[in-house]
Amino acid sequence: MMITAAKPKAGLEDTVATSSAICYLDGDRGVLAYCGYNIHDLARHATFEEVCYLLWHRRLPTRAELGDLQSQLVAARPLPEAVLRLMRILPPGNAMDELRTLTSALGHYDPDAADSSPQANYRKAVRLTSQISSLVAAMGRMALQVTWNLAISLATVRVRPTIPSLAAA
């Protein structure tokens, strides 16, 4: 009689890592839902701000609540000058590494950093959500400026740049 060992499962297959009041996941049925809303419905019909509100409050916002959140996000966009200075002096490298470093630096300049109350955590969530968008936009502008300066340098030696975005500028 031959005995065969059961093939071990890969990774964390069939392992429950934690339970969540926000997310429901059923991989066998292909279901991913947040606060009772199917991810496909959210992707088709909800805005980014509506999904943020849903994740933070576990319900979709009213029109007035959505307007308030949008105003809060706009007000939270500015980046601390020290973070912008850091952005300018970081050595060139992987954009995700840069984003991680700059996101960590934001914590040093957060006025609510030492406050763990629910109200402060909400303000931090709004600020961080908004400021990460600002970081990505600033990183993109800085990268384009570097590319633009390179193209100007190449043009002065009569070499035509091959950067498509510059051809349209």
Q: In this predicted structure, what is the pLDDT of residue 6?
A: 65
Compute the half-sphere exposure of residue 87: CA atoms within 13 Å on the CB side of its CA. 24
CA 87 to centroid of chain Cα atoms: 17
DSSP assignment of 155-167, as one string? HHTT-----HHHH
pTM of the model: 0.73
The domain spans of the chain are 18-75, 78-169
* Block mean pLDDT (10 aa), the chain, length 169: 64 72 88 94 95 96 96 95 93 92 96 96 97 92 69 46 43
Distances (CA, A) of 79 to 84, 85, 97, 115: 7, 10, 18, 20
Distance in angstroms (rounded) separating the CA atoms of residues 95 and 31: 32
Q: In this predicted structure, what is the pLDDT of residue 4?
A: 61
Q: In this predicted structure, what is the pLDDT of residue 163?
A: 43
Q: In this predicted structure, what is the pLDDT of residue 26?
A: 87
